[in-house]
Chains A and B, each alone.
Chain A
């Protein structure tokens, strides 16, 4: 297994320069996620307009996989409806658990290598879980355990 299959350039790049990494003053939904095994923590801020995600951002500390995944997640979810967000998360879960890339979504597909590292799947889904909790108005802390 070549490490560059796990750490695709999309991942390394999003880890070095995470997008939408900030607090969102207009946020009306906030949720946190943490991984008690490694101490990774992510907070996702959502500005929900009706059933549309008008804006979304995150902050936190964690490994390259969790940071890059959260960064890509915010880019993909911005402007989506809740139903679209759920569908995207479902597709992303398939990519990281089964390694099936999605030719139409190269950024999400960059995480396909994760499926060969089962211990790291939780890292990839941490920010997504927090985002889904946030849009459902669920203010409890998402946990990968």
Chain B
């Protein structure tokens, strides 16, 4: 399960060979995959773990006593233990497997219906992904609670924390925010935000979709109540994600979905719930996905998350500095410390045209609103182009990006 390099000094270019998909050409050019914010590619060890599971161990979990069921259950629960270790949870009972970040956030929003009332407030930020906004809009509607926003400063994409104490004082019961913004690249001061929420008796929810696979994440150091992320954005399979919740909170909460596996006993007229985390995992889970996620976490840790964070951030800062020289460009997010992505607008060239233009040179970018429509509305631009980086990307690929953006600016300008 070790990547093909010495972990003390990662050979980033050599790591590319761990990812079979990256060897191909697109439109006659070697593929440059810069859409990692949407989903990352998968290393061979992850793909092989899925094949191995289905070829040797596949059975349902928690319900059979035969050998294969035992193996599948063991593998599934081993993945849970590994996730707990990966984010430094106090117990593996605090790890709920979900389909992804979106489902984890919906789980909280749904179960919090009985915990909020008119006059209460939910606090989020102006930089939310729709996944960390719409569930709270609906929760507010169901309960009569108000939805409040921490403002974003402007194009530099920082949270304006000057008024946060006043916001939290407005009866805020839950504060949700992204650890890293998927469009601005901003790394928010998550530890401080969780502490502020706690001081006001509010539950903190960290959207770690863009951070969990890119930097060390320690839920106890952060002091968060909930933290959600997606396996597919961190070298793992699609369809598997994690919701971390503080044990006491999870125990107090009502179930989300109901059915098999989440019950302790069922009678015709009522049921009692299984203990956490199983209370929140109704039905047959994505067992293979959990196995694949386990392999992905091992892979990332063999390289080292601090090294990955430094690598991605360096590529993003280089790209940011060099894109600034393109005529007519408008860059978003902080110019210094940032996560591994860059978003920009180009005068005279719409994001979709830029993406099509780059795609013809084999470079995969993302164009559009990136699921943060209200933010772009505030900043007065409908669509932007995003390049998002991961451990297999190289400075030579950033060179190709800079070249194609200069050419696109000329072509459409």
Name A residues whose Cβ lies closer than 8 Å to a Cβ of B. Answer: 1, 3, 6-7, 12, 15-16, 37-41, 61-65, 67, 117, 120, 123
Contacts and interface: CB of A to CB of B under 8 A. Distances in A.
A39 B369 contact: yes
B373 interface: yes
Nearest to B369: A39
A39 B373 contact: yes
A1 to B, nearest CB: 7
A62 B356 contact: no
B411 A7 contact: yes
Contact of B352 (A3, A12, A16, A63): A63
Interface of B: 27, 348-353, 356-357, 360, 367-369, 373, 376, 382-383, 411-412
Contact of A39 (B356, B357, B383): B383
Given A39-B368, A39-B382, A40-B383, A120 B352 contact: yes
B27 A37 contact: no
Contacts of B412: 12, 15, 64
Contacts of A62: 350, 352, 382
A7 B360 CA distance: 12
Contacts of B356: 3, 6, 117, 120
B406 to A, nearest CB: 15
Given A38-B367, A38-B383, A120-B356, A1 B350 contact: no
Contact of B353 (A1, A37, A39, A65): A65
Nearest to B377: A39
Nearest to A120: B356
30 contacts: A1-B27, A1-B360, A3-B356, A12-B412, A16-B348, A37-B368, A38-B352, A38-B368, A38-B369, A38-B383, A39-B368, A39-B369, A39-B373, A39-B376, A39-B382, A40-B352, A40-B382, A40-B383, A41-B382, A61-B382, A62-B350, A62-B352, A63-B350, A63-B352, A63-B353, A64-B349, A64-B353, A64-B412, A120-B356, A123-B352
B350 A3 contact: no
Contacts of A1: 27, 360
Contacts of B369: 38-39
A61 B377 CA distance: 12
Contacts of A12: 412
